[in-house]
Structure 1
């Protein structure tokens, strides 16, 4: 694996289902420590991006979803053939590329060949007009425009029967406004940051969910009591058995009971899976949250396996999985953890990032945000971390799909 960081940001449809991911490729410097440096806009860097994309494979980065890829002018005009899957890749034309006759001709050719074209950071400027007949998706930068500008400019775009993507959405108010304006797709930090409100009261269904998660993770609970607790919830039992028997898990033989599930998966893992399935009942949350939880779980687990630490890799799995609670419940993580009665090891790993599992979580979160530091890496180089992330991602997409079917 080359010394490269691969990031992604989800793009959602109106139902908050993942439509695609925008891919963010960044190169480190020679010691691999500076992963925030964007690849250069020249042809050579475009080749690096393209080669890494081809080497990595779509299924490990975006699973079954589409991928938005930023293309430089040189790559658009000079590359003899783009090795992209036309059905799954959206070619994104950046706002700083000059729009002239050679570019318009090339974009028209690519559209005629069946490629999906997106225009980035659209701000209703006339320079984009020659590309509108050949584009399929327009990314409108919401913070850069007033509501009046949006109201005045959108009718022109609708004449071209384009998908409208509202990008850089920061708040729930902006999201609701864009829904009312008829946008089709949505992207921004609003969907990936905890939306904490002071004195926010849990809805009734959330209280029931948190009580069940708390009981599942009680460190004093006996295995027999845990089996009984799961078995009492018919829906949870069904989902666990269906999931564990899916191709994503790959069990050697069919599991017929919750007792067998606990034996095969282990107490720590069955608690984590049951908790995730219970939390999936939280309404109006993007499915990508659960994919993110699974990526974190598998990456933490793999990091601990490689580190030779005395800390159980299964502990890493649980820490990664439960780290998504603040996003799901829209409350501070410390407040949620305080109500769950988790083991001291889980508590300190989640809240204080202490111990090997806490270090694994820090490494995972920093890689996820593109801010990985040398001290966070478990003495792994950036290429090894990227490989761990991609393998965790591939597994997570398969499991998320199985969970969705359960």
Structure 2
């Protein structure tokens, strides 16, 4: 009897498989500043890395050679963890100083050789960061030679944080708060003067179940409700979008961009709908309407676009569902983060088809299977062998990289 996806064994490790995790880092305006690149073993091998040197080498090789750093970061700096050996032996670094931030891990002993190496990198124009900083005195010899300090955030370190930061603020360094988990933590740290932020707060907003929607959100959801009304006609949809000049402008600019690849100039919303279809225009109009609120990090839009492109590609490869609907499912899977309300409440606001609701809210049905795979790939998590039969790990990784690249191109066209 075949195993169900929930109980199936994980895929066997493939030594030729290339995977890298990445986590966005935000500035004070919640724009993406860069990405930390994280070691991930082949699908099926979820054991934590025991060889730090090997993990660092694999991450650098995979990012700069196998995949391409531009495809991973969209031109933003890549934060990379380096072991003591990389600092002490100083092998030739295969990247320009502007493209990376080199992190000194918390378990590296600070001695004369390390200080000398970090000072040399700093003088050569490289940015070096201290990782998981907890205000210990043994880091003091490095402080004159680093550009960033990543302060670890938890309930204990938040106590008295403002006072302890005064000394660091006197240094010519950027302060990065890492492991930020809630909007409340982000607000407090922003007030304390941190320059950069890293953690799950952008994707998992700390919200109250009974939270009321702000007026701006109500306006957006009214537009979205009409956009997703299954009875809406092409003429009605074109008229609705046409009432918002900014929405119309953004939509036409994207439709005519190289990211879409149409061979003819599109001059009207009606023409765009006819050429690209109701489903795709709905998805993009939804994205622009939500992005127009201007109070959410751009990385959420990027995450939605990655999942949308990935779900669409997975649908085409597997034959599960309709690609346009799969695209919409992926895009709206970040709806809770964009509206800063629980997903159940966000879905109540839109008259979406039940199959789309089931996929986004409970990961049920064919579209739910596609979304679950997309989320697993985005998070670097192994999935069951038979979750999507016919797709091997190498092909899944190719689809993820293609989707990521296309998402960056779409954002650049906005």
CA contact (8 A) 1:120 1:138 kept: yes
Change (3 A) 1:64 1:47: closer
Residue in 2 aligned with 1:24? 38
Pairing partner for 1:323 from 330, 333, 352 = 333
Change (3 A) 1:134 1:346: same
CA contact (8 A) 2:176 2:198 kept: yes
Residue in 2 aligned with 1:400? 411
Cα distance, 1:147 vs structure 2? 4.5
TM-score, normalisation: structure 2? 0.91
Give distance in 1, aligned partners of 2:325 and 2:159. Answer: 52
1:5-404 alignment to 2 at 5 Å?
A: 5-28=19-42, 32-35=43-46, 37-54=47-64, 55-78=66-89, 80-143=91-154, 145-147=156-158, 149-309=160-320, 311-374=321-384, 375-403=386-414
Cα distance, 1:402 vs structure 2? 1.4
Give distance in 1, aligned partners of 2:132 and 2:107. Answer: 9
- Structure 1 runs (4+) greater than 6 angstroms displaced: none
CA contact (8 A) 2:39 2:56 kept: no
Gaps of 5+ in 2: 1-14
CA contact (8 A) 2:39 2:55 kept: no
Cα distance, 1:194 vs structure 2? 3.4
Give distance in 1, aligned partners of 2:266 and 2:228. Answer: 22
Cα distance, 1:179 vs structure 2? 1.5
C-alpha distance after superposition, 1:194-251 (max 9, x if no partner): 3331211111111110011111011121222212222222222121111111232222
Change (3 A) 1:381 1:102: farther
- Residue 4 in 1 paired to residue 4 in 2? no
Deviates most, 231-240 or 355-364: 231-240
Give distance in 2, aligned partners of 1:61 and 1:378. Answer: 27
Change (3 A) 1:343 1:151: closer
Q: How large is the Cα RMSD of the aligned pairs?
A: 1.8
Give the secondary-structure state (helix, strand or coil) at the position aligned to 1:4: coil
> How many residues in Structure 1 have an aligned counterpart in Structure 2?
398
CA contact (8 A) 2:183 2:205 kept: no
